[in-house]
Amino acid sequence: MLQAFHFDYIKWSSHTLPELIWWDVIADRVSHRFAARVAEEIAKYFKGEDNRRWWAFISDYSQLSDEDGKALREHLARSDILSPLTDSLSDFLDLYPDCPLARLSDSRPTGIVDVGYLSRFENRVGELEDKRSRNGVLMQAQAVYLAFMLGRMYVKEGLALADFPEVQHYPETEKSEVVGASICSVVNMLAGSSLPKYEDDAWVQYFWRRSLDLRPLAFRHLSGDDDRRK
What CA–CA distance (Å, rounded) separates 193 from 170? 26
For 47-73, what is the mean pLDDT?
91
CA-nearest of 35, 40, 13 to 23 is 35
Q: For the chain, where are the alpha helices, taking DSSP H only?
A: 17-29, 32-46, 66-78, 82-95, 115-128, 134-149, 174-194, 202-214, 220-223
**Which whole-number Å values give the CA distances from 186 to 68, 153, 182, 183, 189, in the listed order?**
28, 10, 6, 5, 5
What dihedral angle (degrees, nearest 10) is formed by the CA atoms of 189, 190, 193, 194?
A: -160
CA-nearest of 223, 121, 141, 219 to 182 is 141
pTM: 0.90
pLDDT confidence bin for 12, thresholds 50/70/90: very high
For 143-170, what is the mean pLDDT?
94
pLDDT at position 10, please? 87
CA-nearest of 221, 223, 218 to 115 is 218
Strand, coil or helix: 127: helix
Please report, in angstroms and rounded to a whole number, the separation of the first and last CA atoms in the chain.
21
DSSP type of residue 16:
I
- What does pLDDT average to over the chain? 90
- The answer to whether residue 6 scores a pLDDT higher than 90 is no
- The answer to whether residue 4 scores a pLDDT higher than 80 is no
What angle, 0 to 180 degrees and rounded to 10, lies between the N-to-C axes of helices 115-128 and 134-149? 80
pLDDT at position 170, please? 98
pLDDT confidence bin for 171, thresholds 50/70/90: very high
174-205 as b/e: b if 16+ CB within 10 A: eebbbbbebbbebbbebbbbbbbeeeebebbe
- The answer to whether residue 5 scores a pLDDT higher than 50 is no
